[in-house]
A and B are shown apart, each in its own frame.
Chain A
Amino acid sequence: MTAPTPQSTSNAATVAALNPANLDGHTIEELSAYLDAERTPTNFSIESSPGCQIALTALGRLRDLTQRDLETQAAAEPAPADSWVQSIMDRIALEARAGRDIPISHPSTTARLAVSEGAVRGLMRAAGDSIPGVIVGRCILHGDVTVPGEPITITVDISVAWGENLHDAADRARSAIYRQLLKHTELTLSAIHITVQDMRFTRPRRTEIKES
């Protein structure tokens, strides 16, 4: 048998903790029911027994073990078939997420012109994505975008590849987003906040072509 790892030690300890002999006269059934009663009303005999306390902790580990087992089973599954993935993608309505209408001004009073919030999010995403190493996550437009002239604050989550300068990447993403918003909308922008949400490790690639 290999040298005990912290994991295997705690596994062995978990098993031992639940040995009925270690429960000061109480049973696993009792402890289990006590847990599901959310430890109320307080059972002083159980609460004052070290063996029971250890056992209750061990029983709590079962959640972690169950989740771990599922993850292991999932990892052993073959990767989802492209056709299975595609049939999900086919069922998705891609026109969703239009969001609010952001007005565009026109001298005529009978004109109703707008750009959709969804279009603007897509615009911001593409702008941020164009910065090397940056992937844009969620973009939110805070404030009432349907009211012309209303000051709007933008928040953008980004992921930056390991090795890129974070401040630099965030600044460049901000500038690119700002330029596009200026070009395509009439929004009054108070601020654009970029949050680096994630720093990701990327596999080295032989060639990566990024148009800019």
Chain B
Amino acid sequence: MAVRAKPDARHTSAAHIGAVTTSTLAEADDRVVAGRAADGDPQAFEVLVRRYGALMRVYARSILGSNDEADDVVQEAFVTAWQKLELLNDPGAIKSWLMRIVSRRSIDRLRRRHEHDDINEHDQPTGENTQPGQVAEARSLASAIGTTLAVLPPAQRRCWLLKEVAEYSYREIALDLEIPETTVRGLISRARTTMAREMQAWR
């Protein structure tokens, strides 16, 4: 950061009146922390990075299918988030807002990988099935679903995540992935059907 400070700079922030420790700030709810970050407090933004970084990584990994790029994508998402944060009307909605940003970044990354061809693989037969027993042994129904999701064809998985986690509309998914809306509905429908079917093995 380009500043010229005096040698005895009194802006060592720990000493000034009213300083809040990061651990204290981490106890406050999303709305307060995001509001503060939107106003320009980097300490509050760091709380958000730590609070949602892991979830965004896991999500990005699932969309991208790879680990290395997920880290980058999430970093980019946070930098974008900082720039746009003051535009967020409802700081309480920060979590879903962040998920939308990481979705957009992930899709950009997919596009750069020239994967948009793969997105049109709706003609491929569905269901690479899970390994026998994987679903049955899942610790919870939720992780059984996660297991199934992990082996869906990528196009189905991406549409599903965009719809059900990032809460995109069908139309938004279609626009972002540059495929017809009917294709999106079909991909999501097939993903759901597979999950419903695979779930029958769970006890």
Residues of A in contact with B (beta carbons under 8 Å apart): 11, 14-15, 18-19, 28-29, 32-33, 35-37, 58-59, 62-63, 65-75, 77, 79-80, 84-85, 87-89, 91-97, 118, 121-122, 125-130, 135-139, 157-159, 161, 197-198, 200-203, 211-212
Leading 7 A-B pairs by shortest Cβ distance: A138-B35, A137-B32, A69-B146, A97-B40, A130-B18, A137-B35, A129-B18
Chain A proximity mask over B1-41: 1 for CB below 8 Å, otherwise 0: 10000000000000111111000110111011111101111
Whole-angstrom distance between the Cβ of A29 and the nearest chain B Cβ: 5
Q: How far is the CA of A72 from the CA of B82 in the complex (A)?
A: 26
A66 touches B161 (CB 8 A): yes
User: Chain A residue with minimal CB distance to B13?
Assistant: A126
Q: How far is the CA of A208 from the CA of B146 in the complex (A)?
A: 43
Q: How far is the CA of A200 from the CA of B27 in the complex (A)?
A: 6
Q: How far is the CA of A69 from the CA of B199 in the complex (A)?
A: 14
User: Is B118 interfacial (CB 8 A cutoff)?
Assistant: no
User: Chain B residue with minimal CB distance to A14?
Assistant: B141
Q: How far is the CA of A125 from the CA of B13 in the complex (A)?
A: 13
Which residues from chain B contact A59 at a C-beta distance below 8 Å? 192, 196
User: Chain B residue with minimal CB distance to A118?
Assistant: B40
* CB contact between B32 and one of A79, A121, A158, A201 (< 8 Å): that residue: A158
Interface of B is mostly: helix
Q: Interface size (B, Cβ < 8 Å)? A: 67
Q: How far is the CA of A14 from the CA of B140 in the complex (A)?
A: 13
Interface of A is mostly: helix
* CB contact between A92 and one of B82, B160, B185 (< 8 Å): that residue: B82
Whole-angstrom distance between the Cβ of B70 and the nearest chain A Cβ: 11
A66 touches B32 (CB 8 A): no
User: Is B54 interfacial (CB 8 A cutoff)?
Assistant: yes
Q: How far is the CA of A203 from the CA of B27 in the complex (A)?
A: 9
Whole-angstrom distance between the Cβ of A172 and the nearest chain B Cβ: 12
**7 examples of A-B residue contacts, CB within 8 angstroms:** A18-B196, A36-B185, A62-B192, A66-B164, A69-B142, A91-B75, A135-B28
